[in-house]
Structures are given as C-alpha cells and as structure tokens.
Amino acid sequence: MVNKIPSPILDIHITLAGWRKIPRLKPRLEQAATATLDHLPKKLRFPATATLLLTGNAKVRQLNRDFRGMDKATDVLSFPQYEPAELPKIGRQKGPIALGDIALAYQYVVVEAKKENKILINYVTHLVIHGLLHLFGYDHMEAADAAEMEKLEIRIMKSLNLPNPYADTGNR
C-alpha cells in the first residue's frame, strides 16, 4: 500500500490556447502529480511544487536551444532545481519544496499522440509524470536507469487506471 502525502502543487501556466481544448486537463495533471509523489521511494516522498508550462513548439524550441544547446522542439523538457543527491536532505525542510520547471510543446505532443495512436490526455498525463520524475533525479540515459524509470511510470499510470504508455496496443 502506498502512503498518502499532501498533494503536490502544480503551478500550471497555459500560454497556447490549444491546451485549453483538452477537457479536465488541470485536474488530471494534479492527480498525476499526486500519484507520482505517492509512488516515489520514501526518502523522496515530501510535499513539493513544480511549475508546468503548457506552451507551443516555438517556446520549447527556444528553451531547448538556450538551456540544452539543441535547436529543436521536443515533447517535454524538465529543469530540476536540485541535484538528485540533494533531494532527501532538502525534503526534510518545512513546507513544500520547489523542485523545478517542466515545459510541454502542444503541437509536438498532438502530432506524437496521433502518430502513436494515443489518447491525447493520457499522453499528456504520461509526459507530466515523466517530467516530474526528471525533477526527482530519474533519467533514461543508461539502459538500467531507463528501465527503472519506465517501470515507475507504468506503475503510476496504472494507479490512475491508465494504460501502459510503452505498450504497443493501439489506442491507449
């Protein structure tokens, strides 16, 4: 059984109108953030906040270029505030911890969801979970790390009664 902790706060900023067309998006993403924190190892289970920028390809491309040296849009970017080793100590502080920022590119996400035959809101939910895990120090640069991160993402999605985002099962 997963221990419940205070709900995380997603400070959601929508700068592209397309995001507003997705029904019940904000409550779903808050639910995903809570589920993500609920499934972390105990040392990382503390009240936290993250800023989520729901924007377009141009802004994500700019962020990717300015901060990662990659002049292209992508689906999700995460900008952690802390190094992974710092998180357990920081988590012992009083009050929610500001973990960092996440940005999603609407056009890129819509195209990917269609191409992969995924339900848009489910895909966006997965990307927010993925982005939050990056803020908590998870990555997928090495095969073992990728496998651990994917397993956790699948477990979190399942806890939300959502399909495995990595399964090739058609419409998901």
Domains of the chain with bracketed CATH: 9-159 (3.40.390.30)
The stretches of 39-98 forming alpha helices (DSSP H) are 57-68, 87-90
- How do residues 113-151 score in pLDDT, each as one tens digit? 999 999 999 999 999 999 999 999 999 988 998 999 999
Confidence of residue 62 (pLDDT cuts 50, 70, 90): very high
Return the pLDDT at 142: 87
- How do residues 91-100 score in pLDDT, each as one tens digit? 888 778 999 9
* Beta carbons within 8 Å of 151's beta carbon, 6+ residues apart: none
Structure-token pair, residue 143: 């095969």
Q: With pLDDT > 70 as the criterion, what percentage of the chain qualifies? A: 92
How many angstroms separate the Cα of 102 from the Cα of each of 30, 75, 78, 144?
A: 14, 11, 4, 24
Assess contact for 150 and 140: CB atoms under 8 A: yes
Strand partners of residue 140: none
